Structure 1
């Protein structure tokens, strides 16, 4: 999540950046449908087709991560996997670093994928099996992936980043304890090409689109990809499903999702047994991201920002419930 100061709508900045690509001038009214979280995303059209401008401050991102994200997407697409497609700029570049009056920004444009987010449709058993299959396909390809550029960061890099952030928050004692627990436990887990590799990390319903006309899924938002255990992706996906379906139905959905996954790539029961540990990793990472994002406070904040802070505080409280508990 970007720092809160970057969550404000900035049409002038978006227009300045989009001019590096071809676009339909009248389509900039679509900027009204922007969204900002880990990146700012502004839709527009080129030759009548919807595209998405994604940008973020240079200070908020690691350039090598962005380069490797795009390399992984190219690899997946070259192997027939339905990841979103980038659009080259006027000077034939995928990723731009642009100097603006608001600072330096990374910018990239993607084609909009077909279909509707899984969170917006009837998430039935058939869709759930597909959801699992497409994650299995992703991990199968990842297990064979040899990056042409510098590697994406790993869970170890994330833990080092967390430690660096927490060094500026002396009251986060339990959070530091949680970091220590995970650093001690995670290296003990089985780590080979069938259990560990480059994962999506955010394979949730909102990042998967279903196209009813072709009965296929498309995958977006590889911005959080990292080297981790493949079961981390399964945990994140199942957590997303649990938030969308009834409690009684969830356990059936869980089995169907894993069955679909195993049709494409094997995961052992042992690795699945570690998912509560991976949930703790996700909770810690999410907590620290919110902590950093919301640390700066201003006088006379707008009502929407005050409401957002309340929601973020609630999210942090939920994520931190198990912090410091011994992993056995």
Structure 2
């Protein structure tokens, strides 16, 4: 956080009273509100070197162009030296300060029809469509440095390059290879906001005022749309199950694109890339939240805990199908002395999609099993299953009793590529435990499972009654 000394310097530069400063948020930037001449403004502090200043000038140049051509956006104000930025050094860290007019209106509220729903989605889409149409015509004024273009991410944290993270890391690399091969013509690629989510605009009488262009880059228009859709699904649904999320995503995109098409036409080819870009945003966000993680769960911040749920018994794998859309459930069964004795639960329709949209033919799963205890109560195991596909991610949690006598644990998983037809339940993952403090290697074959003392077995089951 910025020191009081630095905040005082910012107040002097933008000529406001330090007593009016109110802290708002701290994510990529520190954000404050202040009052000057009975008007509200936003102060943004970016912890970046002074070499980044030309990039901010490029950001501001584009915002001025958009506003001049009818986009409702927050304009910056100048310092006492008639500059758009002020640069400070505080405890060997460089900060770039920028101030903007505060937008009129309020943030979205998914429980308020005036602040969330089809009309807002259409206006949101229309605003982005206008921005993309203008982006095709935009020519930077006299700035010497342009905003960056899209590039592949570098995952430098060694803790995210091993174990179960490899599944998502490999998926990220694969998706980025596909993205990198996409055309970059002027009809599909240009300067985009790149973070136009519900917390980066205000709503006033259904009108959208966009702000925070700090992440703007040259990228694909369909990527910009996918980012909006991804965050709308994260924060705008009323239930967390996969079916609700998928239906909401379809409703949102239908209304959003209806507004978008009023200003800018997107061909069917590029509309088909939106689900891929949504999946890409989900994976990037996972790694972004954990970028500074030191590998110790005790040091996780609240946001990192929301992104990471890995316990000591954790595995990950990908499922992909070919052919007609199956209705597949993931059953979680308890085995004792080599026999299935009970069900811990089930996660239905892993490849869900409505009749209006083809389902994803690929889903990634991360499964975590952790033993917990509450003072004065019996121990229990918490099973967490995270599924990720083009419609977003979903986390399911199941709790079962745990026998303290089971002291040794081991995973049961197959790292080979397997192909199979689901004419009967197929074991895809498991964990087993013993009371002898010794653990033996086990695999997912029925013969091997018969030799386990206790096991938790995850199996795919085809629900034939709901096949199309």
TM value normalised by structure 2: 0.58
Runs of 5+ consecutive residues of structure 2 not aligned to the other structure: 239-243, 311-365, 367-384, 391-468
Q: Which of 209, 231, 251 lines up with 2:222 in the alignment?
A: 231
> Quick one: distance in 1 between partners of 2:46 and 2:192?
22
C-alpha RMSD of the superposition:
3.2
The one-character-per-residue Cα deviations of 1:129-169 (angstroms, maximum 9, x if unpaired) are 1111111111111111122322211112xx1xx23735796
Contact 1:286-1:319 within 8 A present in 2 as well: no
Compared with structure 1, are the counterparts of its residues 99 and 53 closer, same or farther at alpha carbon in structure 2 (3 Å cutoff)?
same
Tell which structure's C-alpha radius of gyration is larger.
2
Alignment of 1:112-261 (within 5 A): 112-119=102-109, 121-122=112-113, 123-148=116-141, 149=143, 150-156=145-151, 159=152, 162-163=153-154, 165=156, 170-171=161-162, 173-174=166-167, 176-212=169-205, 215-243=206-234, 244-246=236-238, 247=244, 248=247, 250-261=249-260
Compared with structure 1, are the counterparts of its residues 11 and 294 closer, same or farther at alpha carbon in structure 2 (3 Å cutoff)?
farther
> Quick one: distance in 2 between partners of 1:61 and 1:291?
26
Compared with structure 1, are the counterparts of its residues 25 and 224 closer, same or farther at alpha carbon in structure 2 (3 Å cutoff)?
closer
Q: Does 1:109 align with 2:99?
A: yes
> Quick one: distance in 2 between partners of 1:46 and 1:132?
33
Higher relative CO (CA 8 A, sep ≥ 6), structure 1 or 2?
1
Counterpart residue number, 2:57: 67
Displacement of 1:19 in angstroms is 1.9
> Quick one: distance in 1 between partners of 2:52 and 2:282?
22
Once the two structures are overlaid, the 10-residue window that deviates more, 110-119 or 287-296, is: 287-296
Other structure's SS at 1:252 match: helix
- The structure in which a higher percent of residues are strand is 2
Counterpart residue number, 1:53: 43
> Quick one: distance in 2 between partners of 1:9 and 1:287?
26
Counterpart residue number, 1:307: 302
Displacement of 1:100 in angstroms is 2.5
Contact 1:163-1:176 within 8 A present in 2 as well: no
Compared with structure 1, are the counterparts of its residues 313 and 13 closer, same or farther at alpha carbon in structure 2 (3 Å cutoff)?
farther
- The structure in which a higher percent of residues are helix is 1
Contact 2:149-2:217 within 8 A present in 1 as well: yes
> Quick one: distance in 2 between partners of 1:69 and 1:94?
11
Q: Does 1:79 align with 2:69?
A: yes
Counterpart residue number, 1:326: none
Contact 2:286-2:307 within 8 A present in 1 as well: no
Runs of 5+ consecutive residues of structure 1 not aligned to the other structure: 1-7, 324-328
Compared with structure 1, are the counterparts of its residues 205 and 164 closer, same or farther at alpha carbon in structure 2 (3 Å cutoff)?
closer
Compared with structure 1, are the counterparts of its residues 285 and 239 closer, same or farther at alpha carbon in structure 2 (3 Å cutoff)?
closer
The count of residues paired between Structure 1 and Structure 2 equals: 303
Contact 1:199-1:233 within 8 A present in 2 as well: yes
TM value normalised by structure 1: 0.80
Other structure's SS at 1:118 match: coil
